[in-house]
Amino acid sequence: MKALTWNTYFNIGSVIKDDTLVIPLAIKPTLSFSFTNLYYEEVHQRFDIDGNMMSDSQKQECVAFIDACAIPVPNSNLIPKTDAEKLSYAAVEFLKATDWYFVRQIEKNVPIPAGIIEKRAQARALVLPNDSMGMYNPALSEAEQEGVTFETMLQILKHKTCPTCP
């Protein structure tokens, strides 16, 4: 089943060429008709543009757009191949997924749970040196490992973004 969706509020959409292949869209599709939100979904029989039913020619144009979308080919340099790269990738993903704890600590003064700090340290130990997979910049982690406190790093970051701030 094919689908083409676009939501201007979130500035995101997707193309589904078959039941399993989803191609995310970060740029609004260029079609002959104007729209803010677009839903062409064969599986749900939903064909609307800004809440109005699509014409047959608009449906045909959506199908042509879907069919013309190229299947993205991943950059082979970014595909983890060795066990160390796979572990590094998983560690990086965990670090990314838990970065928000630091923002919450800064904005709301809520402490980071000790278990998260411990698991992040374990994950940092798995990240390959020199960021060989090109996925994560562990500069903050290296500073933390060298004994720089979170508060010191916060002051450094504030100074870099606002040199005149105290």
pLDDT mean for each 10 residues of the chain (166 residues): 86 78 80 94 90 95 87 58 75 80 87 88 79 43 45 50 47
Distance, in Å, from the CA atom of 48 to the CA atom of 40, rounded to the nearest integer, reads 7
Which pair of tokens denotes residue 152? Answer: 């010191």
What three-state secondary structure class fits 79? coil
Q: Domain limits of the chain?
A: 3-68, 76-161
Whether pTM exceeds 0.75: no
What are the tens digits of pLDDT across the range 93-118?
778 778 888 888 888 889 998 988 88
